[in-house]
Amino acid sequence: MPVNLEIKVPVKNLTKLIKILEKEGAKKIYSSKQIDVYYKLENGRLKVRNSSGEKSVIFYRRVEDGSERWSDFEVIPVSNPKEWINFFDKFLERLVVVDKHRTLYHFKNTRIHLDKVKGLGNFIELETKVINGKAKARKEFQSIIDLLGLNVDEQILISYSDLILKKGN
């Protein structure tokens, strides 16, 4: 499975980050509304993503203990996410639905998500894919954190799904 190093940080000004990214030559991939339907699993996370930018079934495992957030993941592109949702609803418990607007940029080996999450606010997520070892990925990851002026002390160590579930309690 592919491996990422990740961080999620709440932000006030997404426009400022977009200006920095575009100045540095980051490539805008898409900007669209996304609906992620999460399912309850014992080991890992499963979600179906429906958006104009990306339609997929995503499985991932990630350490969320306060240390570096390395995750291994599988993404299967699908043409009709609603069929997959109907299929999974037959035998898995639906956990939560995350409704957001995402603007996605690529910069080097990093996916940069600028998210407006309904009920939670604005966030940036970095996902640096391991291509030539974890040390090289960590170096790129840190350089982008520095470029964007992100405060790692403000990082959120759980997923949007967990934040929504906590807010509901």
Cα–Cα distance between 117 and 72 in angstroms, integer? 23
Dihedral Cα 62, 117, 40, 134, nearest 10 deg? -10
Predicted structure pTM score? 0.88
10 class by beta-carbon count within 10 Å (0-12 exposed, 13-18 middle, 19+ buried): middle
What residues make up the domain containing 76? 3-168
Domain count, the chain: 1
Cα–Cα distance between 7 and 2 in angstroms, integer? 17
CA 116 to chain centre: 12
| Secondary structure (3-state) at 80 | coil
Determine the pLDDT at residue 169: 61
pLDDT (tens digit per residue) in 69-106: 777 889 999 999 999 999 999 999 999 999 999 999 99
Checking if the pLDDT of 45 tops 80, the result is: yes
| Secondary structure (3-state) at 163 | helix
Determine the pLDDT at residue 66: 61
Assign residue 107 the CATH number of its domain: 2.40.320.10
Residue length, the chain?
A: 169
What angle, 0 to 180 degrees and rounded to 10, lies between the N-to-C axes of helices 134-148 and 14-23? 120
Assigned token pair, 8: 């999620």
Checking if the pLDDT of 7 tops 70, the result is: yes
135 class by beta-carbon count within 10 Å (0-12 exposed, 13-18 middle, 19+ buried): exposed
Q: Tell me the average pLDDT across 9-34.
A: 95
Determine the pLDDT at residue 67: 64
Determine the pLDDT at residue 20: 97
